[in-house]
Amino acid sequence: MFDWLFASPADRRLLPGGKYAGPTPWLIAIMMFVMMIVAAAGLALAGGARLVREGVEHRYSIQIADGRAQEARALAAARAAPGVVSAAAVPEAELRATLEQWLGPVAAGEGSDLPLPALIEVELAPAADPQAVAAVVGRAVPSARFIADRAQLAPMLGTLTSLTWIAAVLVALIALATAAAVVLATRGALDTHRATIEVMHGIGATDVQVTRLFQRKIALDALLGGVSGGLVAALILLLVASGGIGALGDWTNGSLLGPGDVALLFCLPLLAAILATLVARATVLRALRAQL
């Protein structure tokens, strides 16, 4: 199946030029580097969105506007509701500390005039019915609002999903650009070796025999470029993962790239080499069919 990759020395001499010479390996290396970074970013965004979604899936908040006095009743009702795993009031100090970041000292301190809502964090069991819990809490404290955390995070999750799709489109565009570059490189190689091809055809070489020479050269160039670009990208991703990405850990409570994502990233250079080989083969065969 892959015997064409192992050409005889005589076959290798038919297409001159040093091994891995020319711009093709560099071009593919750069493309692969960009593709892996973008793909990793896309996968990380998707992973982050998934983890955030999973993290807040069963988490709800009970908000009672200016209702500190009713907090205890609401908390008791929530704890008694079916399917509630845990319910805890957010301490006023914590609320004020949070608000202080935006409103300044006016929000700080127990004696502040700034009215605060009562806030209760609730976690439900996976099979629990949120509407039933909301009804129980509503009966105890009619002014209480039972809000799903995921509803509050919906805009952010939507943005993450959009960015993930943009990354996927960018990866597809880079793959397309790589294929176009391979087409151009192959056409250039065909022009360079036109005389050799004509002689080979005249002597009775088949299209497949001629194509194998170019296919092999492009495949090796693509593999070298792909692996080189991929290794540099992997190095940079490792550096980033060991530092900056960790900041998102608070949100996601886990790693952004799973084993499947890493495996997919490592497959990209090989996929790029296969893509380049197929494109080169199709380009050569198409060009040869234009001749007699």
Residues in touch with other proteins (CB under 8 A): 8, 10-11, 13-14, 16, 195-196, 198-207, 209, 289, 291-292
φ/ψ of residue 242, rounded to 5: -75, -10
Question: Among residues 98 and 206, whose Cβ is nearest to other proteins?
Answer: 206
256, 44 contact by CB (below 8 A): yes
Quick one: 142 exposed, middle or buried, by C-beta within 10 A (0-12, 13-18, 19+)? exposed
Q: How far is the CB of 10 from other proteins (least distance, A)?
A: 6
Q: What is the DSSP letter of 173?
A: H
Nearer to other proteins, 14 or 271 (CB): 14
Report the nearest approach of other proteins to the CB of residue 28 (Å).
25
SS3 177: helix
In whole angstroms, give the CA distance from residue 28 to residue 71.
Answer: 62
Q: Which two tokens stand for residue 52?
A: 């955030």
The string of DSSP codes covering 124-135 is: E-TT--HHHHHH
Q: Please report how close the Cβ of residue 37 comes to other proteins at its closest, in angstroms.
A: 39
Q: In whole angstroms, how close is the CB of 282 to other proteins at the nearest point?
A: 16
> Within a 13 Å sphere around the CA of 97, how many CA atoms are in the beta-carbon half?
5
Of 204 and 259, which CB lies nearer to other proteins in the complex structure? 204
- Please provide residue 63's backbone torsions phi and psi, each rounded to the nearest 5 degrees: -115, 130
- Describe the strand order of the beta sheet including 84-89 as a list of residue ranges: 84-89, 118-124, 59-64, 145-148
| Nearer to other proteins among residue 96 and residue 193 (C-beta) | 193
Give 211 or 252: the residue with its C-beta nearer to other proteins.
211
CB of 197 to other proteins, least distance (A): 10
Q: How far is the CB of 16 from other proteins (least distance, A)?
A: 4
What CA–CA distance (Å, rounded) separates 48 from 267? 21
Q: How many CA atoms does the CB half-sphere of 235 hold within 13 Å? A: 7
CB of residue 281 to other proteins, shortest distance in Å: 16
Closer to other proteins at the Cβ: 15 or 232?
Answer: 15
Q: 63 vs 196, which CB is nearer to other proteins?
A: 196
